[in-house]
Amino acid sequence: MRSLLNTLLGWLGLAPPRLRCRRKVWNAGVVELERRTLNGGRESGAYLLGNHRPDGSREISEFVFYDDIDPAALATGIVTIRQIALPRLWEVCRSRGMGVVADVHVHPHGYGQSESDQANPVIPRVGHLALILPNFARGRPVPGSIGMYEFLGAGRWASHSSEGARFFKLEGR
């Protein structure tokens, strides 16, 4: 029912954003992603932990970086999620009382999904949201200048990149 209501509100331009994050949390996480690229020499990424809000949106509360969960995740220059990572991630989620609401990783240039991104969702669950930051996260990219994709299952994705802050809203300072 909530999905139908949000769809109708979306048509009217009144739907809540799908993702929310305090600007301070976002900026700190993006700065750290840029730092972890080692001066633009490799990709980096993070699981975005948080909770679902009563209005149906997801609130990002914390970045948990791939290489903190699995030190080998960035070893090849591109993000590689190994099987050992997910049990460790679920333990972090349990200990903090949160879940994965999205993931984010950086690309060297634009924010389009690569074939590898499309074929290998970080969390292969319908509805999972994946964000891609261009230029190794330099310049603190924000919604409207980042890739925002929703996994639909069976290798299919929907792009929400052009929706900017209507889809992903940064709040506060």
* Structural domain spans, the chain: 17-171
d(CA 1, CA 71): 42
Residue 147 has pLDDT above 80, yes or no: yes
Q: What residues have CB less than 8 Å from 58, skipping those under 6 apart?
A: 18, 19, 20, 50, 51, 52, 101, 102, 129
Q: Minimal CA–CA distance to 141: which of 131, 151, 150?
A: 131
d(CA 29, CA 133): 12
Residue 1 has pLDDT above 70, yes or no: no
Residue 107 has pLDDT above 70, yes or no: yes
Q: What residues have CB less than 8 Å from 10, skipping those under 6 apart?
A: none
pLDDT in the model for residue 79: 83
* CATH 3.30.70.20 corresponds to the domain 17-171: no
Task: Calculate the dihedral angle through the C-alpha atoms of 94, 122, 38, 21, rounding to the nearest 10 degrees.
Answer: -60
Residue 6 has pLDDT above 50, yes or no: no
Residue 12 has pLDDT above 70, yes or no: no
pLDDT in the model for residue 38: 84
